[in-house]
Amino acid sequence: MQIEVKPYRLCVKGFSRRDEPWVGTLLTLSNGRIAVRGELELEPFDTGTLHAGYYLDVPLWRRELAQLPRINGVYVLCSGEPARPEKVERELDLREGLLRVRASLSCTAGNLRYTSTSAAHRRLKSLYMQRVELEGCSGELLVTLPIELASNPFVAGASVRHFDIAGFKFDGAWLSVLLEPKRGGKPIALTSFLRSTGCSELIPVSSAGALGFLVTGCSSRVTLERYTFVGETPQREEPLWDSLLRSHKAAWRELWEKIGLEVEGEDRIAGAITFYTYHLLQLIDEDSDSLMIPSRGLHGFGYRGHIFWDTDLYLALFLSALYPEAAKKVLKFRCKTLEAARAYAAQSGHKGARYPWESVDSGFEATPRHGLLLKENSCQCVDILTGEKEIHITADVAFAVDLYYKLTGDTHFMAECGLHILVESARFWASRVAWDPGKSAYVIRDVIGPDEYHVGVDNNYFTNVMAKLNLERAAHYVEEALSSKSSLLRAVAENLGVTRQEVEKWKEIAGRIFEGRREGLVVEQFEGYFDLEEGQLNSSYAPVRVPVEELEKLSQLKVIKQADVVLALLIQDLVSGVPKEVLEANYRYYLPRTTHESSLSLPIYAAVAISLKDENAGGLFSKVLDTDLGNLYGNTDDGFHVGAAGGLWYAILYGLLGLRLSHEELRFKPSCVDGIRRLSVNISYRGARLKVDLRCDGEPLLHKSFLT
Q: Is 524 helix (H, G, I), strand (E, B) or coil?
A: coil
101 vs 554 by CB, closer to its own copies: 101
> Binders of its own copies: how many residues, by CB under 8 A?
54
Give the orientation angle of helix 642-650 with respect to helix 617-624, to 10 degrees.
Answer: 150
| Site membership for its own copies, residue 77 (CB under 8 A) | yes
| Site membership for its own copies, residue 138 (CB under 8 A) | no
What is 155-178 written as a DSSP string?
BTTB----EEEEEEEEETTEEEEE
88 vs 263 by CB, closer to its own copies: 88
31 vs 176 by CB, closer to its own copies: 176
| Site membership for its own copies, residue 170 (CB under 8 A) | yes
Q: Do 49 and 230 touch, CB atoms closer than 8 A?
A: yes
Q: Which residue in 452, 472, 524, 527 is the catalytic one? A: 452
Non-local (6+) Cβ contacts of 413 within 8 A are 328, 331, 404, 405
Total residues found in the chain within this entry: 708
Residue 637 CB, nearest approach to its own copies (Å): 15
Residue 61 CB, nearest approach to its own copies (Å): 11
Q: How far apart are the first and last CA of the chain?
A: 45
Classify burial at 501, counting beta carbons within 10 Å of its beta carbon; exposed 0-12, middle 13-18, buried 19 or more.
exposed
164 vs 581 by CB, closer to its own copies: 164
| Site membership for its own copies, residue 359 (CB under 8 A) | no
Residue 567 CB, nearest approach to its own copies (Å): 31
Among residues 323, 328, 188, the alpha carbon closest in space to that of 256 is found at: 323
| Site membership for its own copies, residue 165 (CB under 8 A) | yes
Dmax of the chain from CA atoms? 87
Residue 363 CB, nearest approach to its own copies (Å): 17
157 vs 437 by CB, closer to its own copies: 157
Site residues (CB under 8 A) for its own copies, limited to 364-423: 369-370, 372, 374-381
Alpha-carbon distance 271 to 626, whole Å? 12
| Site membership for its own copies, residue 524 (CB under 8 A) | no
Between β-strands 441-443 and 518-519, what pairing exists: parallel, antiparallel or unpaired?
Answer: unpaired
Helices (H), 216-368: 241-259, 267-281, 316-322, 324-336, 338-347
The region of 155-163, 226-234, 638-646, 648-656 touching its own copies under the rule CB under 8 A is 155-163
The region of 39-47, 183-191, 476-484, 540-548 touching its own copies under the rule CB under 8 A is 39-47
| Site membership for its own copies, residue 18 (CB under 8 A) | no
Rule CB under 8 A: choose which of 142, 466, 563, 632 binds its own copies: 142
**Cα dihedral sign, 57-58-63-66:** negative
Please count the other Cβ atoms lying within 10 Å of the Cβ belonging to residue 187. Answer: 12
Residue 326: φ, ψ to 5°: -75, -40
What is 85-142 written as a DSSP string?
EEEEEEEEETTTTEEEEEEEEEETTEEEEEEEEEEE-SSSTTEEEEEEEEE---S-EE
81 vs 534 by CB, closer to its own copies: 81
What count of Cα atoms within 13 Å lies in the side-chain half-sphere of residue 563?
27
Site residues (CB under 8 A) for its own copies, limited to 553-582: none
Residue 182 CB, nearest approach to its own copies (Å): 10
Residue 183 CB, nearest approach to its own copies (Å): 11
331 vs 360 by CB, closer to its own copies: 360
Helices H / strands E in the chain, number of each:
19, 28
370 vs 667 by CB, closer to its own copies: 370
Alpha-carbon distance 431 to 508, whole Å? 13
The region of 146-154, 467-475, 525-533, 667-675 touching its own copies under the rule CB under 8 A is 146-154
| Site membership for its own copies, residue 144 (CB under 8 A) | yes
Cα 166 off chain centre by: 32
| Site membership for its own copies, residue 343 (CB under 8 A) | no
Site residues (CB under 8 A) for its own copies, limited to 590-649: none
110 vs 172 by CB, closer to its own copies: 172
Residue 114 CB, nearest approach to its own copies (Å): 15
Helices (H), 337-435: 338-347, 386-389, 392-408, 411-413, 419-432
The region of 98-106, 128-136, 145-153, 522-530 touching its own copies under the rule CB under 8 A is 145-153
Write each residue from 178 to 217 as x if it is in contact with its own copies (CB under 8 A), else as -, in one continuous string.
-------------------------xxxxxxxx-x-x-x-
The region of 40-48, 112-120, 191-199, 641-649 touching its own copies under the rule CB under 8 A is 40-48
Alpha-carbon distance 194 to 203, whole Å? 11
Asked if 180 is an active-site residue, the reply is no
165 vs 385 by CB, closer to its own copies: 165
Rule CB under 8 A: choose which of 86, 110, 138, 161 binds its own copies: 161
Residue 373 CB, nearest approach to its own copies (Å): 9
What is 615-637 written as a DSSP string?
TTHHHHHHHHTTTTTTTTTS-GG
Question: What type of residue is 54?
Answer: Y
| Site membership for its own copies, residue 110 (CB under 8 A) | no
Cα 184 off chain centre by: 27
| Site membership for its own copies, residue 21 (CB under 8 A) | no
Q: Is 11 helix (H, G, I), strand (E, B) or coil?
A: strand
Helices (H), 487-577: 487-495, 500-511, 548-554, 565-576
Alpha-carbon distance 160 to 154, whole Å? 8
Residue 300 CB, nearest approach to its own copies (Å): 18
| Site membership for its own copies, residue 482 (CB under 8 A) | no
Non-local (6+) Cβ contacts of 540 within 8 A are none
71 vs 570 by CB, closer to its own copies: 71
| Site membership for its own copies, residue 495 (CB under 8 A) | no
Residue 369 CB, nearest approach to its own copies (Å): 5
What residues line the site for its own copies (CB under 8 A)? 44-46, 59-60, 62, 70, 73, 75, 77, 80-82, 142, 144, 146, 148-151, 157-159, 161, 164-165, 167-172, 203-210, 212, 214, 216, 369-370, 372, 374-381
Residue numbers annotated as active site: 452
